Chain A
Amino acid sequence: MKHFRQYLKPGRLAEAIDLRKDVGPKALYIAGGTTVVPFASKGVDVLIDITGLGLDGISDHGDVISIGGTTRLAGLLHPGLAAEVPVVYRAASVVGSPQLRNMATLGGTLAGVFLPSDIGIALLAMGASIYLNGDEERIISIDDLLNQGWLSGYDLITEVRIEKRRKHKGAGFSKFGRSKVDISLVNAAAAIEMSGGVTGSVRIAVGQTGSKPALLNGQAMGAGGRDMTRDLVGELAEKAAGLVKPKADARASADYRKSLIGTMVGRALMEAAREAGVEFAD
C-alpha cells in the first residue's frame, strides 16, 4: 500500500495545471508512474494523472518530429522514428525492460528520478526543444531543462520536438550498464554535422545517473574543420573524459566512470559519424 490519498484524472490540460496549483507541493503529476509510485516522497498525497490529456502521439512536422510528452517509451519504438530520428529510437530500445517501456513516458524520463535518462542524453545531443506548460506555456531547449534538473513549479512536458536526420548529419548513442537491463552508469550521445566533407558541428552529451549531464562542444574541443577520422574521435573521447567530472557512488567509482566516459563518447561519435556519411578506413 502506497501513501497516496487522492487520485485525480483531469480531462483537459488547463484543469490538470489548475489542480496542481490548487493542491501545491503535496501533488505530483503521474504519467507512467514507474518512478512516482515507488519513489514519491511521503509528503506527496495527491496524484494527478496526465495520461488523459491527449498528450501522446508522434507527428511529422516537416523538418522536425514531434513526440507528445505522455507517449510511452514503447511507442517510440516506431519504424517512423527509427527512420527519422534513429538515435532516439536506439536510446529508447535500451531503457529498462519491455514492461517498463510499456509504462514509462517520454516526459517522465525527462522529469523523473533517474536523471539524466538515456533518452534525455540522446535528446540533449540533438538539441531538442521541450514544450512546457504550467506556470505558462513556453518552449525551452533541452540543455536548459536538464541543467535545471527537475521540472520546476507546475510544469509538465507536453511535447518534445527533434530535428529529423538529414544528409551529412548523424547522431549516435551509447550506454553502459552492469547488465543488459540496467540504469546507465554512464551514457553518451553525439550529434555531428559534416560540412564540406570535414567536421562541422559536434555536440557531445554525457550523462551519469544522479548528476547533471555535460554538454560539450566539439568545435571548442578543436574538431571544427578537421577530417573526421578514427583518431579525431579518439581525441575527442579522451578530451571529453577529461572535461566531465566523474561521480562516485555505490554503483561505480569515479575512476571507472572516467574510463567509461571515454569509451561511451567514442562509441557514440563513431555511430554519429557513420550516420553522417563518414566512412572509416578499417
Chain B
Amino acid sequence: MQIRLTINGKVHEPDVSAGETLLELLRRLGLKSVKFACGTGNCGACTVLLDGKPVLACLMVAPQADGRSVTTVEGLSADGGLHPLQQAFMELGAPQCGFCTPGMLMSAVGLLSENPDPTRQEIREAISGNICRCSGYVKVVDAVIAAAKALREGGAGGNG
C-alpha cells in the first residue's frame, strides 16, 4: 500500500507492506542514522520524532506513520549546520561508539521542545529509554544542559 508521510520536512510517498516496520522503511529510504539494536523496544536506538514526540521506530509498522511527520537526526541541521545539541554532544565528548547517539539526540530534542530548562534528573528521565553502553551517561547529560542553555540564549541554527 502507498502511504504519504513527511520525513525531515520532505514529503515521501513510498510503497510499504503492512509488516514493514517504520525502522525498516526509514533505513530503506536512506536514513541510516536510525538504528536496529534490539527490535523489542528496550534500547531506544531507533528513536525518532513522530509529530515532534520521541517514539520507537522498531515498534511501529510503516502504515502507522501515514499522514504523519517524522524527524530523524538527518533532519536536525538547518542549512547543513549543526543543531546546538549536536554541537554540544560533539564538543563535550558525549559520543563514544556513536550507535546510541542518534536515538539519544532525538529524545533530547523531544525533551527540550517541552522543557527548555531541564534539571539533570529530568534529562536522565527523558533519556531513560535510551541505553548507552559506552558513556555512563554523564557527558550526555552535560551536553543536553549545555545545549539547553545555548538554545535559551538564542542559539542559532538547527530545527528544534
Contacts and interface: CB of A to CB of B under 8 A. Distances in A.
Q: Is the pairing of A and B real?
A: yes
Contacts of B107: 98-99
Contacts of A26: none
Contacts of B55: 99, 102-103
Contacts of B33: none
B63 A33 contact: no
Contact of B44 (A51, A74, A97): A97
B160 interface: no
Interface string A35-76: 001100000001101010000000000000000000000100
B19 A4 contact: yes
Contacts of A2: 18-21, 61
Interface residues of B, number: 30
A96 B64 contact: no
B20 A102 contact: no
B34 to A, nearest CB: 13
A5 interface: yes
Nearest to A6: B18
B129 interface: yes
What is the size category of the interface that chain A forms with chain B?
20 to 34
B90 to A, nearest CB: 24
A2 B66 CA distance: 17
A96 B61 CA distance: 20
A30 interface: yes
A220 interface: no
B59 A103 contact: yes
Interface string B61-80: 10110100000000000000
13 contacts: A5-B17, A5-B18, A9-B66, A33-B60, A33-B61, A37-B59, A38-B40, A98-B129, A99-B44, A99-B107, A99-B129, A102-B54, A103-B60
Given A98-B126, A98-B128, A99-B41, 15 more contacts: A3-B19, A7-B63, A33-B59, A38-B39, A38-B41, A46-B18, A47-B61, A51-B64, A97-B128, A99-B47, A99-B107, A99-B129, A103-B56, A103-B60, A181-B129
